Structure 1
């Protein structure tokens, strides 16, 4: 019995050592597959990271281009604004000068009317005087151009 149990245990050891070799080979094969899988995963991760970096670089280039276009547009708009402001200043000066002329002319007309009232009888009170001053063709001195420029005014 002892010999039979010894024989069976010996054959069991042989089978176990063969199984252990197979088991070790299987573990090595799994380890190699895992290493290959990990390498492939790392390669895909690096590729994703590189693609993301390339996308970000393209986005930076696009945003810089848009920024340059916006700055150019702002500069053009600012120049137009300054031109309009200069034109507006000229027009304001012309309005001021014309208002002053109008006030002066109204004063002259008022003086002429008051002086005409002294010499005119009451029957012709509402009729305009036949003076050459009221003749539009004789008022050539009123048709002088108004000269103003942006250089005359400080902002």
Structure 2
């Protein structure tokens, strides 16, 4: 067999041991390179993992902050809704009261028209005869609705 220099150096045992040592050194060198490469790969993997974890932590903080802002806006909107709902209830009570007043006034007018023969006069304006005017103007129930303010409170709105 020929050696790496191209000349024969002696016995085949020496050639085998030399090539085995070279092969072992080559394998050891490849093993060291592979270990170094694996360590570097593991280091890069840990760095990527740490970077991803840091990004997730930052995203979590951002989402928590956004969640807090949304909750605050929901609370403000809910309070505004409750205020509007309460105001709407008050207005509904006022509408009911005014409708009742209007109905009462229409009943009074109908009663006066039926009992007095109408409001018409020769002058084209509405007026009552003296008896109806005295009875209407001097009665206490005339001012019952006219002088009362329209009031509604939270207690009147509870159902």
Q: TM-score, normalised by structure 1?
A: 0.78
| Contact 2:121 2:127 (8 Å CA) reproduced | no
Once the two structures are superposed, residues 8-41 of structure 1 have per-residue CA deviations (whole angstroms, 9 ceiling, x without a partner) of: 7952322222122111111111111110001001
Query: Post-superposition shift, 1:128?
Result: 5.1
Give the total of aligned pairs: 141
Structure (1 or 2) with the greater helix fraction: 1
Q: Which residue does the alignment assign to 2:27?
A: 27
Q: Which residue does the alignment assign to 1:67?
A: 67
Between the aligned partners of 1:102 and 1:29, the Cα distance in structure 2 is 106
1:23-62 correspondence runs (5 A): 23-62=23-62
Q: Which residue does the alignment assign to 2:90?
A: 90
Q: 1:128 to 1:111 in 2, by over 3 A?
A: farther
**Pairwise CA RMSD:** 2.8
Q: Which residue does the alignment assign to 1:3?
A: none
Between the aligned partners of 1:79 and 1:22, the Cα distance in structure 2 is 84
Q: 1:30 to 1:129 in 2, by over 3 A?
A: closer
Q: Which residue does the alignment assign to 1:130?
A: 127
Query: Post-superposition shift, 1:142?
Result: 2.4
1:98-113 correspondence runs (5 A): 98-113=98-113
Between the aligned partners of 1:58 and 1:129, the Cα distance in structure 2 is 80
Report runs of 4+ in structure 1 exceeding 4 Å deviation.
none
Q: Which residue does the alignment assign to 1:152?
A: 156
Once the two structures are superposed, residues 97-125 of structure 1 have per-residue CA deviations (whole angstroms, 9 ceiling, x without a partner) of: 0000001000000011111118x9xx959
| Contact 1:87 1:150 (8 Å CA) reproduced | no
3-state secondary structure, aligned to 2:117: helix
Structure 2, gaps ≥5 residues long: 1-7
Structure 1, gaps ≥5 residues long: 1-7
- Between 1 and 2, higher relative CO (CA 8 Å, sep ≥ 6) is seen in 1
